Amino acid sequence: MVELAETAERVAATTKKLEKTALVADYLRARPAEEAAISALFLSGRPFPMREETTLNAGGALLWQQIKKISGKSDAQLEAAYRRHGDIGAVSAEVFPDGRPATLNVVEVERAFRQIAGARGVAAKTAALGELLARATRLEAKYLVKIMTGDLRIGLKESLVEGAIARAYGQSSAEVERANMLLGDIAETVRLAAAGRLGEAKMRLFHPLGFMLASPVESAEEALAYFKDPYIEHKYDGIRAQAHVSAGQVRLFSRTRDEITESFPELGEALATLAQEAILDGEIVAWSYPEKGSPQQGRAMPFSALQQRLGRKKVSQELMRQVPVAYLAFDMLYAGGNLLIDRPLAERARLVDELLAAPRSKILGISSCEALGSQSHLAFDPDVQPLAAQLIRAPVYRGSRSEQLDELFMAAKERGNEGLMIKDPNSVYTPGRRGKAWLKMKRELATLDAVVTAVEYGHGKRIGVLSDYTFAVWDGERLVNIGKAYSGLTDAEIAEMTNWFLEHTTADRGLRLDVEPKIVIEVAFNNMMRSGRHNSGYALRFPRIVRLRPDKRPEEADTLARVKDIYERQHRAAS
Ligand code: AMP
């Protein structure tokens, strides 16, 4: 154990990733396979393999108590040391007795961890923990405690340990990563790598795989620079969940790979009706069901609505009714015995379509499963199907021009979703990696505070009210127009503003009135372009009025310099 602790110290002492990897590789190579396996586990900051879900249940208080006992220090002395280090492992290194011989071996340590985890009752746990720590040197104690608290803080992510394994055993990093991802067990990965048998790693259902992550883009153009004919989905504002389903059994895992099945019993029941063994990737959202008989389909609610449902072990029927949820499935990693992550998204997406459209099995004893059927959008009747949770295939849109993406973005926003996910149909699923095969477009590019210079009468239900605003920014002392937008304001605000504009008209040009430049509005947009349409020399794509800014005086509105700045930033981001 002392060699592991010394290696960890050396790893902490360098910021260079290559050096960190080399240090760990040298250390692993010099050990027998089993010792190396356990060491790799400890060096990734875990006492047990991820897939096991075993926890030590030896919290900070228990550790503190033991450190106090072994060191003979007072609480005040320990607290002072903690304030200096901010890390209970480093505190141990300072206060543990000096000069003990190093006798611990990592394999023994792992056994001791298992004893601590398995000990029933505080007394037994304390005894097991005390026994281990009583044998540790200062440096060993430092790392034992760090591993037990799950935080090494030596700048060694699991991906670097994977790199070190590849290097130590002459295997490719990709193979090591893949095996570790499938096994969820870095110690087992070492055993296979050392024996040259990485290819034998198999996926285990009901153990979470890593989640594929997305990279942000600022604009439709930027997204289309990566690939031409994307799959486009709404970006829902909920929590990511991987659903493992087999023979009526379901487990849901969060992005942190924690199991969250208990918090969403109705989703478990709905997923259990799927016709095939599968691992799905999707988003759990709070779902707003339409009135019964309404042609509307319901919609995802913002994350704040879902919050009440998170982190609960027991969920009452009442809460399930108050905050109904839905699972929007957008990917599939495994189906009917086949791992799908190496297949292109286009193929995986088709399999998601098929699975969700297939008739569901009725293994449930409750009437709710009748409501699930093979349809996704059902009116919700709290009296008849109190727990019917929706499984919905997240709709996929196509569009290869930036205007189409912009329109979809607007539509997503209008439905209350966060924005768009833009995905490469040819891409494989890369668990735990953030790449450019999935792009997320969510933030407004920026908003501008602009001054209304002219207004026009609207159309349709906006006839008779001044609802189209032309707005401007400052170019020195002069206002220059930059865009025109239909008002995104409420009817009451529009009516009130109409009166104000009529009273403050400076020139009446029929349908269009020039008005005193007094009203400040906040404007959002998707993109900024150079254009001769307005005298600022710029125009906005899909401008929309976010709100009135009565708190701002016109002098405080934005300037042409800021517009130029946004334009340049946007183009830098796209290039
Ligand atoms: P962010 O949390 O901003 O990094 O965005 C990525 C997250 O968006 C994912 O982890 C999902 O939870 C969520 N998300 C919402 N809709 C989708 C979708 N259609 N495809 C993939 N991820 C989505």
Q: Is residue 460 part of a domain?
A: yes
Looking at the predicted structure, is the pLDDT value of residue 17 above 80? yes
Q: Which of 441, 474, 498 is the last residue of a domain?
A: 441
Worst-scoring range by mean pLDDT, 189-198, 290-299, 451-460, 473-482?
290-299
What's the rounded mean pLDDT across residues 327-338? 95
Report the pocket of ligand 1 as residue ranges, CB < 6 Å. 214, 233, 235-236, 240, 255, 283, 330, 394, 421, 440
Tell which one of 283, 301, 396, 436 to mutate to probe ligand 1, the residue whose CB is within 8 A of the most ligand atoms.
283
Query: Mutate which of 213, 234, 236 to test ligand 1's pocket (most atoms within 8 Å of Cβ)?
Result: 236
Q: Say if 177 falls within a structural domain.
A: no
Which domain CATH number covers 495? 2.40.50.140
| Ligand 1 mean position, distance from CA 253 (Å) | 15
Shared domain check, 525 and 386: no
Task: Work out the pLDDT band at 375, boundaries 50, 70, 90.
Answer: very low
Structure tokens at 546: 């976010």
**Quick one: 136 and 39 in the same domain?**
yes
Q: How far is the CA of 401 from the centre of ligand 1 (A)?
A: 22
Structure tokens belonging to residue 328:
């929007």
* Same-domain status, 265 and 231: yes
**Is there a single domain that holds both residue 309 and residue 371?**
yes
Find out whether 553 and 520 touch, Cβ atoms under 8 Å.
Answer: yes
pLDDT given for residue 202 in this prediction? 85
Q: Residue 103 and residue 105: Cα distance in Å, rounded?
A: 7
At residue 295, the pLDDT reads: 66
Within-domain flag for 200:
no
Q: What is the DSSP annotation of 343-408? A: S-HHHHHHHHHHHHHSPPP---SSTHHHHHSS-S-----TTT-TT--EEEE---EE--SHHHHHHH
CB neighbours of residue 41 within 10 Å: 25
Residue 487 has pLDDT above 80, yes or no: no
Average of per-residue pLDDT across 215-243: 93
Find the 217 Cα to ligand 1 centroid distance in Å. Answer: 13
**SS3 assignment, position 313:** coil
pLDDT above 50: residue 571: yes
Quote the pLDDT of residue 572.
Answer: 65
User: Distance (Å, rounded) from C-alpha 292 to C-alpha 288?
Assistant: 12
Residues with Cβ within 8 Å of 12's Cβ and at least 6 positions away in sequence, in order, are 153, 154, 155
Q: Among the three residues 149, 172, 194, which one is the final residue of a domain in this structure? A: 149
Residue 267 pLDDT > 50, yes or no?
A: yes
Which amino acid, one-letter code, is at 477?
E
Of 45-49, 412-416, 476-480, give the lowest mean pLDDT range: 412-416
Average pLDDT over residues 413-432: 92
In a domain, 455, yes or no: yes
Residues 16 and 76 in one domain: yes
Q: Would 156 be classed as within a structural domain?
A: no
pLDDT at 53: 66
Nearest Cα residue to atom 10 of ligand 1: 240
* Domain boundary pick from 390, 411, 441: 441
Note the pLDDT tens digit of each residue in 46-60: 999 877 767 888 878
Atom 12 of ligand 1, nearest CA residue: 240
- Assess if residue 187 is contained within a domain: no
Q: How far is CA 402 from CA 221, 223, 399, 421, 443, in A?
A: 6, 9, 8, 14, 16
Q: Which atom of ligand 1 is closest in space to residue 442's alpha carbon?
A: 3
**Same structural domain for residues 404 and 537?**
no
Which atom of ligand 1 lies closest to the CA of 211?
10
Q: Would you say residue 293 has pLDDT above 80? A: no
Residue 574 scores a pLDDT above 60: no
Report, as an integer, the average pLDDT of 311-330: 92
- Whether residue 205 lies inside any domain: the answer is no
Residue 502 has pLDDT above 70, yes or no: yes
Rounded to the nearest angstrom, the distance between the alpha carbon of 433 and the centre of ligand 1 is: 13
pLDDT band at 389 (very low <50, low <70, confident <90, very high): low
Give the CB-side neighbour count of residue 356, counting CA atoms within 13 A: 25
Looking at the structure, tell me whether residues 353 and 498 fall in a common domain.
no
pLDDT band at 361 (very low <50, low <70, confident <90, very high): confident
Q: Which of 73, 146, 235, 423 is catalytic?
A: 235
- Closest residue CA from atom 16 of ligand 1: 235
Domain count of the fold of the chain: 3
Q: Tell how far the Cα of 189 is from the centroid of ligand 1, in angstroms.
A: 29
Atom of ligand 1 nearest to the CA of 423: 20
- 399 and 461 in a single domain? The answer is no
Rounded CA-CA distance 75/518 in Å is 64
pLDDT digits (tens, 9 = 90+) for 107-148: 999 999 999 999 988 899 999 999 999 999 999 999 999 999
Tell me the backbone φ, ψ of residue 383, rounded to 5 degrees: -80, -35
Given this model, what pLDDT does residue 315 score?
A: 93
In a domain, residue 170? The reply is: no
Identify whether 142 is a catalytic site residue: no
pLDDT of residue 383: 38
Helix, strand, coil shares of the chain, percent, nearest 5, are: 40, 20, 35
**225: confidence class by pLDDT, cuts 50, 70, 90:** very high
Q: What was the pLDDT predicted at 305?
A: 87
CATH of the domain at 249: 3.30.470.30
For residue 322, CA distances in Å to 305, 367, 531 come to: 10, 19, 50
Instruction: Tell me phi and psi for residue 342, to 5 degrees.
Output: -90, 0
Which two three-digit tokens encode residue 391? 């499984």
* Mean pLDDT along residues 261-266: 95
Ligand 1: atom nearest CA of 239 is 12
Q: How many angstroms does the Cα of residue 287 sit away from the middle of ligand 1?
A: 16
pLDDT for the residue 547: 86
Angle between helical axes of 138-149 and 2-13 (0-180°, round to 10): 80
Residue 575 has what pLDDT?
Answer: 52
How far is Cα 377 from Cα 373, in angstroms, rounded to an integer?
Answer: 10
Give the mean model confidence (pLDDT) for residues 545-549. 88
The pLDDT-based confidence of 573 (bands split at 50, 70, 90) is: low
Provide the domain limits for residue 542.
Answer: 447-574
Q: What is the domain-level CATH number for residue 111?
A: 1.10.3260.10
Q: Is the pLDDT of residue 226 over 60?
A: yes
Examine the domain organization and report whether 300 and 353 are in the same domain: yes
Are residue 413 and residue 464 in the same domain, yes or no?
no
- How do residues 61-77 score in pLDDT, each as one tens digit? 889 999 999 999 999 99
The token duo for 315 is 């969920």
On average, the pLDDT of the chain sits at 88
Look up residue 346 and give its two tokens: 């286009």
> Are 272 and 359 part of one and the same domain?
yes
**Whole-angstrom distance, CA of residue 335 vs CA of residue 348:** 10
pLDDT of residue 373: 33
Residues 260 and 294 in one domain: yes
Residue 372 confidence (pLDDT) above 80: no
- 26 pLDDT exceeds 90? yes
- 171-175, 302-306, 443-447, 480-484: segment of lowest average pLDDT: 443-447
